[in-house]
Structures are given as C-alpha cells and as structure tokens.
Chain A
Amino acid sequence: MYSAEISRANPTSFVFLLDRSASMQDPIGSGEGQRKCDVVADALNRLLSELTVKCAKEEGVRDYFYVSVIAYGGSDAGPALSGTLAGRDLIPLSEVASSPARLETRTKKVPDGAGGLVDQDVKFPIWVDPVASGGTPMCKALTRAHSVVSSWLNDHPACFPPVVLNLTDGEANDGDPTIPAEALRRLASADGSALVFNLHVSSDNSSPVSFPDNDAALPNQFARTLFSMSSMLPDHMRTYARQQGIAVSESTRGFVFNADMTSIVQFLDIGTRTSDLR
C-alpha cells in the first residue's frame, strides 16, 4: 500500500482546506505574532510553491498532481483560487503554477560559497490572501472534499491515495468534524485510503508540536480533535520524516500544532530525489 507511482500517467490529487472564519483574525501563540489567517495563507502559498518547484522541469511543470483549494468561512465552503482558476474544483498543477494572483519578491539567505550567508531576492507566488470572517463550516468543507476526492477516485482508481490537508484553528461550528473526516479517510484507491492531515494554528501559547504519535502534549480540545481526525503517516512518509529529524513511531499522525508543515511535500515520491553528497 501507498506504493503507487505518482506520474503524469498516474497522477494523484492534493486537496487543501483553508479556514477563513472570523476567529482566524486572532494572533497565533503568544499574541505578539502574526494573525492565524496570515499564517495559514502563507503556509498554503508555500505548500503550493514547494509542490510546483518539486514538479518543475525545464519548459514547464509536470502534472503529477491535481490541486483543489477549498476555503471555508461564513456559512459556505467552495473553491478559493482566483483569476482563471476561479470556481474550479481540481486544477492541473501546471495551471496552478502559471496563474498565481501575483508574484512578490522576498529575501532569502543563501550560502555565499565561503561559509557565510548572503541575502538573495527570490520570487514568491501568492495564490491566496488572508481572509477572516463569519463562522467555521468545517464539516461542510470536509464534505465538499469528500465529493472532490470521491469523484477523483472514480476516474483514477489506481492512483496514489489523495492527500487532504486542512489548515485551521479547529473551531468548527457546524457540527462534529470527526464524522466527515472519518468518511473522507474511508475513501480509497487500490493503493490505500485517502490521507487526511491537519495543520492547527492556535492562539494557545503552548510549545509547537510536529507529527505527534499521541495527544498528550496537545493543549486543548481543538488540537486533540484535529489530531484524532488525522491519518497515520504511511511507512515511507515516516522514513522521510525521520530523515528530516522528526521523531516518529508507527502511530505518528499527519498533524502539526503551531508548526510548519511544508515538509509533507517532501514526503511524496515523484522520482529520484536530489541531495549533495555527505
């Protein structure tokens, strides 16, 4: 299981759920940092960027993935991307790559070749901006994801199982999200069940937690609920997590609390990986 190749001949899908409810206006952690809506918008833009760069070859981006971004806030859940991507459920990654809302320039530290670091300008694509208003219809978003994934699996029964990543503060107010999350996790290709992961941003000033295997260190009920909704990492993903210095066990789940989750892009195999000799 979880060994199907991800290729243009056998692509898979990646569904992002983006919480845009009013509570996302509150600051993360100690109260001095960014707003939760800033953090999830930035996280999503970085995830899409990493995924795109991973699949980029000269002359274009290969459609190893079809991407859906579903935002939820107010009383509704629906596609969140804009411009030519607006209103579409699943979009080939190459189209996502060629149509960010805008490109910003950011500064990044890079090695200077003499043991130090220098600032370098890099282009950073923005697909979504921070939004925060209204209620948190997380159940509706998970149900919408169920429909997107279900339809994908009908057309791609042998694909690597779709990944659904929910970026949220966990404060669902349209019912118990564990029920639609469980239904989502029951959807399966011949290669295994869909993977549901959660990135929890919280105003709680507790220590960040990355890929835990139990909920003992989680500070509140929202975190524990999201942890319980999250799939366990398949074998090969645990191996990549371990290589990135993350402590894992067989029960490790795809969940982080006030922490970065961009690394999951590197948990997906699309071919020979590159790294310098050590």
Chain B
Amino acid sequence: MLAHISTFWLPKRGSSLQEYEDAFWVGPNGDDEGEIQQRSLRVAVADGASESMLASRWANRLVTSFGTARNAARTKPGFMAAYREAVSGWDDQVLKYMTDRELRGAPIQWYEEPGLAKGAYATILAVEFSDGWQDRPPAWMASGLGDSCLFQVRDESLYASFPMNDASAFSYQPPLLASRGADNDALRRHISLKASDWESGDSFYLTTDALAAWFLRAVEAGDRPWETLRDLDTLDAQLDFTEWVDEQRDAGGMHNDDTTLVRIDMC
C-alpha cells in the first residue's frame, strides 16, 4: 500500500508539552510520517487517564506493545498477549522511576504513594492495514478498549466508526487498561474488534476522545468534520492544528483535553 501519514498532538490547555499523556505509534518504526510504502501498516493510539500516576509512560508502553505485536489488532488472544507484554515490564519501569527520583534528591512524596500503588491506566486503539491478496480486497482490522476512535471516510461520507458511534456516550469513565493487569474474563468482555475493507482514496482518522467526540457530534449534526481534518497543515488550507483546536476549545465545541490525531490517506 502507498499511504500518506500525518500526526498531530497537543496537550490540554494549561499543561506543558511534557505533561501530554496521549501516545501514538505508527509502524514500522513507531514514528513514521509522510509517505510510506508497505505491505502492511500498524498504528496504535492510547490515552493515559488523568487521574493516574505515570499515565504518559503507561500510554507509551501500551502503544509500543500493541504497535509491535503481531495479532494485537486481529484477535482477542492477540490483544491480551500485547497487554500482558506491556504489563510484564511495568513494575521494573516504576522501580527505576522511583530509584531515579531518589538519586536526584526528589524522593516519592506521601501523596504520590497511593497513585503509584494503584498503577496507571489508559485506553488503547490498535489498527492493522494490509494490502489485498489474491481475490481479497485490501483490509483493516482494529481492536480497542476505551474511547480512542477510528473513523474511515470514503466518497465524502463516514464509512466506518470504531469503537464509539455516539457522541453522547463519551464520559469521564471509559473502560481502561490498568498497568497492574486485569481479570481475564472482564478484559475479554471489554475488548472491541472490527474488520473492514479499504480502497485507494479512503482517509482514516485515529483520535483520542476529545477530538473523537467533536467528530461524532459534527457527523450527528449533518456536518462533514473530515473536511476540516483533511485540510490540517496542508499547503492549500494553511490550517494549523494548535490554532484550530484552541478555537474549538474556546467555542466550547471541544473538551479541553490532550488531543491526538493520526491521519492516514490511502493513495
């Protein structure tokens, strides 16, 4: 496939760039952008929960694990294996963080201890795009837990939406992947899977919740939100992501939250 990839991200207003707690991974190297030509492409997006400690590190750990795992977007066992992989090294990462703090004379404070004991939390969305093969059309498969979303646009209409379909369903309490691990049955119940086809000219928008809710609200109002997202940072429109998100936040159209967009245009 030949695809053009653009990524956009912005922390919540009032937060520094270092406090951004979403994460994204675009294969094959994790930080790919621009034009790529591959037989398959993996992308992962995660949103670290604000009410948890080390959420950014956990979100980054999840997207790396889901971006590199072979079947994470394809099957529930593949999803669970990628999750187990992320959980397995987490305690060491936390221990290292605590040791580093100690070494630089800023030891963990009493108010950090409960959060560190509880662990970090994040949503995940993993997508794998693949070329057609023999009589099979080009396809994508996605897995997700929480409210990070994929939107597929074809011929000026929304062709697929995953896993959220309803703007009113966003809340402060999405299901989340915990760094401490999860009960397998509960995990299985909460994983969403979807597979569909893609064709040349399709556009995909992978977003975290603030932008996803804005997108679905616009669709529900009969608008075409992809027209705005398509123009971001293009030579034609000169529309800047940061300025545009700020305008939406000011107008009350978008929740003030870390905001992430991975746009994939299939050529």
B152-181 vs A, CB cutoff 8 Å, 1 = contact: the mask equals 000000000000000000001111101010
Tell whether, in the assembled complex, residue A276 and residue B50 are in contact, meaning their CB atoms are under 8 Å apart: no
Tell whether, in the assembled complex, residue A58 and residue B49 are in contact, meaning their CB atoms are under 8 Å apart: no
**Residue with the highest number of chain B CB atoms closer than 10 Å, among A59, A125, A272:** A272
Give the docked Cα–Cα distance between A30 and B118 (Å).
37
Contact residues of B between 251 and 267, Cβ < 8 Å to A: 255-257
Residue from the list B15, B111, B121, B255 in contact with A274, Cβ < 8 A: B121
Give the docked Cα–Cα distance between A59 and B101 (Å).
9
Q: How far is the CB of A127 from chain B (nearest CB, A)?
A: 12
Q: How far is the CB of B220 from chain A (nearest CB, A)?
A: 19
Tell whether, in the assembled complex, residue A271 and residue B257 are in contact, meaning their CB atoms are under 8 Å apart: yes
Tell whether, in the assembled complex, residue A277 and residue B178 are in contact, meaning their CB atoms are under 8 Å apart: yes
For the A-B complex, the count of residue pairs with Cβ-Cβ distances under 8 Å equals: 90
Residues on B with beta carbons closer than 8 Å to the beta carbon of A98: 109
Tell whether, in the assembled complex, residue A56 and residue B49 are in contact, meaning their CB atoms are under 8 Å apart: no
Instruction: Give the segment of B1-9, B27-35, B182-190, B227-235 that binds chain A.
Output: B182-190
A270 close to B (CB within 8 Å): yes
Contact residues of A between 148 and 207, Cβ < 8 Å to B: none
Tell whether, in the assembled complex, residue A59 and residue B49 are in contact, meaning their CB atoms are under 8 Å apart: no
**Residue with the highest number of chain A CB atoms closer than 10 Å, among B51, B109, B112, B190:** B51
Tell whether, in the assembled complex, residue A7 and residue B187 are in contact, meaning their CB atoms are under 8 Å apart: no
Residues on A with beta carbons closer than 8 Å to the beta carbon of B223: none
Tell whether, in the assembled complex, residue B182 and residue A103 are in contact, meaning their CB atoms are under 8 Å apart: no
Residues on B with beta carbons closer than 8 Å to the beta carbon of A10: 14
Residues on B with beta carbons closer than 8 Å to the beta carbon of A275: 173, 176
B133 close to A (CB within 8 Å): no
Tell whether, in the assembled complex, residue A273 and residue B53 are in contact, meaning their CB atoms are under 8 Å apart: no
Residues of B within 8 A of A (CB): 12-15, 19, 47, 49-54, 97, 106, 109-115, 117-118, 121, 172-176, 178, 180, 182-183, 186-187, 189-190, 255-257
A269 close to B (CB within 8 Å): yes
Give the docked Cα–Cα distance between A243 and B117 (Å).
23
Tell whether, in the assembled complex, residue A53 and residue B14 are in contact, meaning their CB atoms are under 8 Å apart: no
Tell whether, in the assembled complex, residue A56 and residue B53 are in contact, meaning their CB atoms are under 8 Å apart: yes
Residues on A with beta carbons closer than 8 Å to the beta carbon of B118: 274
Tell whether, in the assembled complex, residue A59 and residue B115 are in contact, meaning their CB atoms are under 8 Å apart: no
Q: In chain A, what residue has the closest Cβ to B53? A: A58
Q: How far is the CB of A14 from chain B (nearest CB, A)?
A: 16
A88 close to B (CB within 8 Å): no
Q: In chain A, what residue has the closest Cβ to B147? A: A272
Subset of 6 A-B contacts with CB under 8 Å: A56-B53, A122-B113, A122-B114, A271-B172, A276-B178, A276-B186
Minimum-distance CB pairs A-B, first 4 = A271-B50, A9-B14, A277-B186, A272-B49
A52 close to B (CB within 8 Å): yes
A242 close to B (CB within 8 Å): no
Q: How far is the CB of A1 from chain B (nearest CB, A)?
A: 14
Tell whether, in the assembled complex, residue A54 and residue B51 are in contact, meaning their CB atoms are under 8 Å apart: yes
Tell whether, in the assembled complex, residue A61 and residue B54 are in contact, meaning their CB atoms are under 8 Å apart: no
Tell whether, in the assembled complex, residue B112 and residue A123 are in contact, meaning their CB atoms are under 8 Å apart: no
Residues on B with beta carbons closer than 8 Å to the beta carbon of A110: 117
Residues on B with beta carbons closer than 8 Å to the beta carbon of A49: 111
Tell whether, in the assembled complex, residue B12 and residue A7 are in contact, meaning their CB atoms are under 8 Å apart: yes
A89-133 vs B, CB cutoff 8 Å, 1 = contact: the mask equals 000000001100001000000100000000000110100000000
Tell whether, in the assembled complex, residue B111 and residue A56 are in contact, meaning their CB atoms are under 8 Å apart: yes
Q: How far is the CB of B64 from chain A (nearest CB, A)?
A: 19
Tell whether, in the assembled complex, residue A53 and residue B172 are in contact, meaning their CB atoms are under 8 Å apart: no
Tell whether, in the assembled complex, residue A272 and residue B47 are in contact, meaning their CB atoms are under 8 Å apart: yes
Give the docked Cα–Cα distance between A52 and B112 (Å).
9
